[in-house]
Amino acid sequence: MSNPSKAVCVCARVCVCARVREREREREREREVYDTESSVGKMQQLGDSEPRRSRVLIVGSSGYMGKQLALASLREGHPTFLLLRPEAAARNPNKTQSFLSLRRAGARFLKASLDDFCSLVNTLKKVDVVVSAMAEDQLLEQLKLIKAMKEAGNIKRFLPSEYGMDADKFLDCPPPTGDVFVCKRKIRRSIEDAHIPFTYVSANCLAGWFLSGLGQMGRFMPPEENVMIYGDGNQKVIWVREEDVAAYAIKTIDDDRTTNKTVYIRPQLNILSQNEVVQLWEKIQGRTLKKQFIQEQSWVERLKESMSTEEKYVMGFFHLIFFQGKTYNIDIGEDALEASSIYPDHQYETVEEYLSLLSESSL
């Protein structure tokens, strides 16, 4: 029979050793956060015996879409790097928290500034693919990124910050809403001029922005009593969950079919009118909402009268999407690449599933 006190002693030593090893691993992880050169080296060594996955740099990873794109890239097994702007992070605890949660999920930092051309070029040389999710008011900052990518010469795919409606289909959209399309087109043309291989991802209505409030402007949970219906509520709208947008976007980066193409995310089950969405919600909740119909003309008048540019900007999008049906009613051509068709293995979340989850939160 074994000696119990010896067993306890061995056990304690094993625990201490495990704790020491864990602490060492923690320190190593902390060192890597700041030692980006060595982390890239390590990634490359790890990949030597395995099929090499593209190394992906996410720009804007602390943002709404950027975080999802970074997580999707990690899920697909890509060595994933985050462009870290230390000064921006230092001013915002949310950013620090967001960076660290991505770090814990396996992402690495690469320190660089869009305003420091040399550091940016050196950073870009360490990756294969750049996925941008820059904020809407910072879209033209991507021109600096494009210039640096051209200089670096090694980027095999660039996804600019898009994830909305296809900017090339809205040439006549007036400002201020049209301004974002102008910027996105400007970025597209400069990518093409620089001969950087690209994919443009058109994602239509992100669920968190549009579906969560059943299409109510400025509301991100379903209304309790009254719902505003735009026009007759029958225009088809395309609704997509952010995680699905990110998953599809990341799938395009190593897919030759999507080089220099626009990929449209139009999941069949998620093409629903506002009326259909409201009906689904009512079915899930087991009660009826009071409808307030608003006619297009009065929306346009309200838009003209609205005081702030920001409100005009958002109202312009609602006009395009809900009154004119312009997520669905655009000609994308017969040969267009549609994400859920080219990646049928990805199980996207349906509008009904999304609303069912929201319903649980309102019980």
Ligand X SMILES: NC(=O)c1ccc[n+]([C@@H]2O[C@H](COP(=O)([O-])OP(=O)(O)OC[C@H]3O[C@@H](n4cnc5c(N)ncnc54)[C@H](OP(=O)(O)O)[C@@H]3O)[C@@H](O)[C@H]2O)c1
Is 184 among the catalytic positions? yes
Binding mask 42-81 for ligand X (x = CB under 6 A): ------------------xxxxxxx---------------
What whole-number distance in Å separates Cα of residue 218 and Cα of residue 323? Answer: 17
Task: Give the number of other CB atoms < 10 A from CB of residue 144.
Answer: 15
Query: Binding mask 95-124 vs ligand X (x if CB under 6 A, - otherwise)?
Result: x------------------x----------
Return the percent helix, strand and coil in the chain, to nearest 5. 55, 15, 35
Q: Which residues pair with 264 in a beta bridge?
A: 202, 338
Per CB under 6 A, which of residues 299..318 are in contact with ligand X?
A: none
Sign of CA dihedral 80, 24, 98, 238: positive
Instruction: Determine which one of 6, 144, 150, 184 is catalytic.
Output: 184
Q: In angstroms, what is the minimal distance from the CB of 195 to ligand X?
A: 23
Q: Which is nearer to ligand X, 133 or 280 (CB)?
A: 133
Contact 263, 252 (CB under 8 A): yes
Q: Is the dihedral of CA 186, 188, 190, 192 positive or negative?
A: negative
CB of residue 85 to ligand X, shortest distance in Å: 5
Beta carbon nearer to ligand X, 120 or 228: 120
- Say whether residue 134 binds ligand X (CB under 6 A): yes
Site for ligand X contains 141 (CB under 6 A): yes
Q: State how far the Cα of 41 lies from the Cα of 122, in Å rounded to an integer.
A: 14
Say which DSSP state 253 is in: T
Interface stretch with ligand X, choices 16-24, 122-130, 132-140, 266-274 (CB under 6 A): 132-140
Cβ proximity of 274 and 235 under 8 Å: yes
Least distance (Å) from ligand X to the CB of residue 168? 14
Q: Rounded to an integer, what distance in angstroms lies between the CA atom of residue 84 and that of residue 61?
A: 9
Nearer to ligand X by Cβ, of 215 and 231: the residue is 215
Return the active site residues.
Answer: 184
Which positions touch ligand X (CB under 6 A)?
60-66, 83, 85, 88, 95, 114, 133-136, 138, 141, 161-164, 203, 205-206, 209
